[in-house]
Amino acid sequence: MAFGINKKLKVVWLCHYANQEMFEHFNISNGKEFAPWISLLIDLFKSERSVELHIVAPNVYSNEDSSFIKNGIHFHFYEYLPKFPIFNKYFREIYYILRIDQISNYSWVKHKISSIVNSLKPDIVHLHGAENPYYSAGILPIIDKYPQIVTIQGFIKQSIKRNWEIKQRIQIEEEIIKKCKHFGTRTDDMNKVVLDMNPNAILHYHFYPIELPKVFKSNIGGDEPIDCIFFARVCKDKGIEDLLHAIVIIKQKIPNIYLTVIGSVSSLYLNFLMQMCKKLNIKDNVHFLGFQKTQNDVYQYAINAKICVLPTYHDIIPGTIIESMFLKLPVVAYAVGGIPDLNRNNETVKLVEKLNTEKLAEAILSLLLNVDCRRKLAEKAYIWANERINNSAIVGDVFKAYASVLSD
């Protein structure tokens, strides 16, 4: 798409992510991937010759400034925590303990990002997510200098935690949404949250790409060794504790119920969950597999499950659910955020009232005990996903949003 004769559109993305390409460049041997939708979106833009794309992101591993060009994309990884020459070995610990970022209202991040962006003088700045201030706060000093769009990834204001750090993240998120004008959204619930904070917001529809599974369940109702699978970040907000209580109820009907849990989790919280399983007498029914190196490693477990359960307390449309749809894996979830949009025209996901663990157990049991229901739900979900999720259309949707921002 051309934006001008013989002129490339210079675009800056403010985001965070980590992938194998980044690990190879920085010689990281044991890195963990996160925000895969950003990596996939970058891949989609590699072939776009009408755009000069600059990625500005925190260097979450070596915490050093590093700029380079690869596959036509300009990367600018920045030192997101200032280093203390005398205590350089322990600078992260010192910085976190003293909460310098929070106390300074992320002044270092704002300085680093505004310096990079001002040197580039882009046509448009695209912020991916307002909820992570160690990069999102960087848009605040440059809002009046460059046209910008903020694509919503989620809302930290919906988190159940309310410590000092979360409260400040909420404050920065709200400041960004109130001060910016153009937003990328993809559900009615997301639109409502943005418009409640900023009635003058202009909304632009676009999805993020997902890594399409290379396999899918072809024999629903066969000999799947896993009854339920949970794959997401393992934390209270994602509903893992509710799911464990539901397993207790299900065990009364299915004594050998088998739940596999996949996802990154802190050692402290994992120990808490394992003790919880022991007290609930389900330690032999629940298996924690931790973080998996690639998404396809996760899928290899998922295709051996009867259903996916994700009782998340808040979300837009979780990647876990979309991926399960493509895997032909039936899903049970709480009816929160943008998830009910999936059932607007047809039931594609089994929905349950938030925090109702008894109903959650009932929904899981109804699918485990009825192969035909699982098969029908999976087929409807698979059809929805193929009709609505189109990675090849995403670049066009983003370009439409850019054109609207620039014409405003």
Q: Which helix (H) or strand (E) holds 73?
A: strand 73-78
In CATH, what number does 226-388 get? Answer: 3.40.50.2000
- CATH 3.40.50.2000 domain range(s) in the chain: 9-210+390-407, 226-388
Q: Are 59 and 80 in contact (CB under 8 A)?
A: yes
Number of neighbours of residue 186 by Cβ within 10 angstroms: 21
pLDDT at position 101 is 74
- Rounded Cα–Cα distance for residues 190 and 338 (Å): 7
- Rounded Cα–Cα distance for residues 358 and 140 (Å): 45
- Rounded Cα–Cα distance for residues 8 and 399 (Å): 13
294-325 as b/e, with b when 16 or more CB fall inside 10 Å?
A: ebeebbebbbbbbbbbbbbbbbbbbbbbbbbb
pLDDT at position 31 is 82
Give average pLDDT by consecutive 10-residue segment, the chain, 408 residues: 67 95 87 90 93 95 90 94 61 63 86 97 98 96 97 91 85 97 94 96 94 73 86 95 98 97 95 97 97 87 95 92 94 95 94 97 97 95 91 93 95
pLDDT at position 29 is 84
pLDDT at position 33 is 85
pLDDT at position 190 is 92
- Rounded Cα–Cα distance for residues 46 and 49 (Å): 8
| Cβ within 8 Å of residue 23, ≥6 positions away | 29, 31, 61
CA dihedral 178, 184, 187, 193 (to 10 degrees): -10
* Domain 9-210+390-407 CATH superfamily: Glycogen Phosphorylase B; (3.40.50.2000)
pLDDT at position 85 is 55
Maximum distance among all alpha carbons in the chain?
69
Q: Are 113 and 133 in contact (CB under 8 A)?
A: no
Q: Give rounded-to-5 percent helix, strand, coil for the chain.
A: 45, 20, 40
Q: Which helix (H) or strand (E) holds 231?
A: strand 226-231
Cα distances (angstroms) measured from residue 343 to each of 140, 197, 346, 350, 384: 37, 26, 5, 9, 10
pLDDT at position 215 is 72
Number of neighbours of residue 268 by Cβ within 10 angstroms: 7
